[in-house]
C-alpha cells in the first residue's frame, strides 16, 4: 500500500468531481495559512530582535534595517543571560532526574508490585490530576518557607517528583510490560529494587524519553513557583528573569524581545530534535494541558 493513501473523509473517487477538487485545493490553502499563522510570530520576533530601540518603537516595517547580530550579543552580555541559562540548566537537569526516579518508582509500585492497598493510591493519584496545581501554590510556598528551603533549587527539583500525570503515564506503560519477564527476574533472585533498575527501566526507554522531553520543557518554562522560591538574583532562571522584566519593566522593549528569543531557543531546538516523539505522544500527555 502506498504511503500517500487518503485516510480522510474525501475518497480518491470523489476527486473526479470538480467541486470536491476545488474544495481540496481550498483545504490545502487553509493548511498553508495555518502554518503561516503558527510560524509567523516566531519569525517576526526573531526579526524584531535585530532592531535597536529607536527602530523597534518607530519603524513601521517588519524587516529590520540591518541583520547585524550585534544587538543580540549586547543584550546577552549586558543582561548576563549566560548565568540565567546556567541556572535554567541546573533546574532542568535536577527536575528531569526527579521526574523519572520518583514518579517511576511510584508507578512501579502501582503498576507492577501492586502491594495490598495500592488501589487507593492509584485513585488518589488519578484524583490529583483534576486538581489544578496553581490553586495550592500559596500553602506550598509556605511549606517551603517553613522548611527553610527558600532560595534553593531543591524544592523545584522535588516538585517534579510529584507529578500525577507522569505517574499515570508510567503506570500505563508498566502495565503493558509482559509480566513473565518480571517474574523471571524475581525467580532469579533479584530484589524488587534490582528488578526495577535492571529489567523495568531498560525496557521503558520510550516512556522515559517522552516524560523527559515534557519535563525538560515544563521545567524550562515554569516561572511561578521558581519566581517565589528563587528570590535572589543569583539563582534566577531564564523564565524568572523574563517574568521580573515583564513585571518591573526595567528593560527596554527591544532588549525584551531579544530575551524572548533567548527564552524560546532551547525549546525550539528540543522540538526539532524530538518532533516525531512529540507529535506522536501528544495524545497521551496532551490531555493534561
Site string for other proteins, 76-115 (x = CB under 8 A): --------------------------xx-xx-xxx--xxx
34 binds other proteins (CB under 8 A): yes
Q: In the complex with other proteins, which residue's Cβ is closer, 233 or 269?
A: 269
The Cβ of residue 250 has, within 10 Å, a number of other Cβ atoms equal to 11
**Which window, 66-74, 77-85, 135-143, 200-208, contacts other proteins (CB under 8 A)?**
135-143
Q: In the complex with other proteins, which residue's Cβ is closer, 177 or 224?
A: 224
178 binds other proteins (CB under 8 A): no
Q: Under a CB-based contact definition with an 8 Å cutoff, are residues 52 and 67 in contact?
A: no
187 binds other proteins (CB under 8 A): no
Among 168, 223, 230, 258, interactor with other proteins by CB under 8 A: 223
**Which window, 69-77, 124-132, 175-183, 204-212, contacts other proteins (CB under 8 A)?**
124-132
- CA atoms of 258 and 77, how far apart (whole Å): 12
Site string for other proteins, 36-75 (x = CB under 8 A): -xxx-xx-xx--x-------xxxxxxx-------------
- In the window 226-285, what residues touch other proteins (CB under 8 A)? 228, 239, 242-243, 246-247, 253, 256-257, 260, 263-264, 267-268, 270-271, 275, 278-279, 282-283
Among 21, 22, 25, 35, interactor with other proteins by CB under 8 A: 35
Question: From residue 43, how far is each of 40, 50, 51, 148, 264 by CA, in Å?
Answer: 5, 12, 14, 43, 12
179 binds other proteins (CB under 8 A): no
Closest contact distance (angstroms) between CB of 231 and other proteins is: 11
Among 131, 148, 178, 180, interactor with other proteins by CB under 8 A: 131
| DSSP single-letter state for residue 148 | T
Q: Which long-range contacts (CB under 8 A, 24 or more apart) does 279-285 make?
A: 281/210, 284/169, 284/172, 284/210, 285/165, 285/169, 285/210, 285/214
H-only helix segments in the chain: 18-48, 53-58, 70-78, 81-108, 118-130, 137-146, 154-159, 164-176, 179-187, 192-195, 201-203, 205-221, 224-229, 238-248, 253-273, 275-286
142 binds other proteins (CB under 8 A): yes
- CA atoms of 174 and 167, how far apart (whole Å): 10
Amino acid at each position: 500500500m502506498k504511503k500517500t493513501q487518503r485516510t480522510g473523509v474525501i475518497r480518491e473517487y470523489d476527486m473526479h468531481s470538480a467541486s470536491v477538487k476545488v474544495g481540496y485545493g481550498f483545504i490545502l490553502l487553509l493548511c498553508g495559512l495555518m502554518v503561516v499563522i503558527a510560524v509567523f510570530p516566531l519569525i517576526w520576533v526573531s526579526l524584531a530582535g535585530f532592531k535597536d530601540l529607536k527602530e523597534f518603537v518607530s519603524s513601521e516595517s517588519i524587516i529590520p534595517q540591518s541583520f547585524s547580530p550585534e544587538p543580540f550579543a549586547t543584550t546577552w552580555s549586558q543582561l548576563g543571560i549566560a548565568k540565567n541559562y546556567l541556572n535554567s540548566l541546573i533546574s532542568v537537569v535536577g527536575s528531569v532526574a526527579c521526574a523519572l526516579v520518583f514518579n517511576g518508582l511510584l508507578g512501579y509500585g502501582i503498576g507492577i508490585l501492586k502491594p495490598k492497598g495500592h488501589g487507593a493510591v492509584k485513585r488518589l493519584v488519578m484524583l490529583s490530576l483534576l486538581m489544578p496545581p496553581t490553586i495550592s501554590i500559596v500553602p506550598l510556598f509556605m511549606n517551603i518557607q517553613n522548611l527553610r528551603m527558600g532560595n534553593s533549587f531543591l524544592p523545584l527539583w522535588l516538585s517534579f517528583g510529584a507529578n500525577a500525570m507522569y505517574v499515570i503515564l508510567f503506570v500505563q506503560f508498566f502495565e503493558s510490560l509482559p509480566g513473565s519477564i518480571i517474574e523471571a527476574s524475581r525467580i532469579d533472585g533479584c530484589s524488587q529494587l534490582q528488578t526495577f533498575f535492571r529489567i523495568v527501566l531498560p525496557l521503558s526507554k520510550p516512556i522515559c524519553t517522552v516524560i523527559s522531553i515534557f519535563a525538560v520543557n515544563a521545567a524550562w518554562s515554569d516561572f511561578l513557583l521558581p519566581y517565589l522560591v528563587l528570590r535572589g538574583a543569583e539563582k534566577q532562571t531564564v523564565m524568572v528573569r523574563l517574568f521580573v522584566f515583564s513585571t518591573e519593566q526595567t528593560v527596554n522593549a527591544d532588549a525584551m524581545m531579544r530575551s524572548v528569543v533567548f527564552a524560546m531557543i532551547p525549546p525550539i531546538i528540543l522540538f526539532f530534535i524530538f518532533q516525531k516523539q512529540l507529535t506522536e505522544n501528544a495524545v497521551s500527555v496532551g490531555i493534561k494541558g
